[in-house]
Structure formats: structure tokens, C-alpha cells
Chain A
Amino acid sequence: MYLDFVNLTTISAALALIGTVGIIALPKPLDKVIMFALLQGGFVGMIVAAKYLDVAMAAAIFDPIATIILLIGIIKINEVRKKNQESQEDGNLA
């Protein structure tokens, strides 16, 4: 039966692979962050499948910290680019 093939290890591996494909293929930065959150789920699942429970606890706690640092960087760089664009248009008008 094919249902024997579905267990926690293969599910987590499939999740991590789909997340990797999404990070590479999607163009916009926020889409990349969403797929990165998906990859983190697969990563924690893989650690749990190997029964390293303390490592899984630490990984689960540190996940949103990584996501929030990435989001702060995206928001800041977007504001800087918007300001840059406006100043460039002003220069063109002058």
C-alpha cells in the first residue's frame, strides 16, 4: 500500500522541499517570508521525527524571532526605497 509511505519523516521532508521551491521561485520578499515559515514547520517536524525533543523545543522557540528579524529588515528597506524614489522624482521636476 502507498499509505505506508506516509509518516512523519516523509511529510516533513516534503514540507521542507516545497518551502525551498517556494523560496527560490516566488519573486516578492513577503511571499518568500511566508514560504520560510512553512519551511520552519517542516524543520521542526524533522527534528521531532528523530526524537531530539530538546532541540525541537529550542527550534520552536527561536522560529518567530528569525521571522520577525527578517520582517523588520523588509519594512525598513521598503521605506528607504520609497523615500529614494520620491527624492529622485523631485530632482527630475527641478
Chain B
Amino acid sequence: MIIHANVFIYLIALAAALILGLVLRLPLLPNKPIRHSWTISAVFPTAVLAVGFYAMVYELGYQGYIVALITGIITALFSKFILEKLVPVPQKDGEEESSHE
């Protein structure tokens, strides 16, 4: 078998982040023209970030169901409270530029 990790653990991390994100009132999907919207929703950044962070923790040597659960919970809290301050929406910059000219 070429695949090394157990796929089931990734599903646990994804589901934990998804459910806690919905409990924290993140919207399920972004606003309707999806490819232009900037909202942080439960599916797009949160689930992807949860799987990616669990992959990082897995490579660092901590493996198991409980680690996956904790990673999902921390990712949901991170994307609810910190992510908007870490990567702000650059709309202000564009408006300032257009008004500047």
C-alpha cells in the first residue's frame, strides 16, 4: 500500500473543524459568486487548513485520533478569531489607490 496515513484520521480532523466552525457561526459556504468573495467560511479555509495542519503535526511525529481532534478544534478557533487579523482583506488599499489617481 503506497498511502501511509490512515485516511480515517484525516476525516476526523476535517469533521471536527467543520462542526466546531458551524457551532461558532461561521457560514457554511462563501457568498454567491464564490470565486470573488472574501468571507471566511466553514468549508473553504477552515476544513482545508485543518487537514493541512494535521498533516504538519503528523510529519512532526504526533499521530493518533486525539491529536486529530485537538488539531481540528484549534484550527476552528484559529480561523474564527485570528485569521482575519493575520491576513486582512486588501479592499481598503484598492479604494485608496483608485481615489489617489
Direct contact of A and B (CB under 8 A): no
Q: Which residue numbers of B lie inside 8 Å of A, CB to CB?
A: none
Q: Which residue numbers of A lie inside 8 Å of B, CB to CB?
A: none
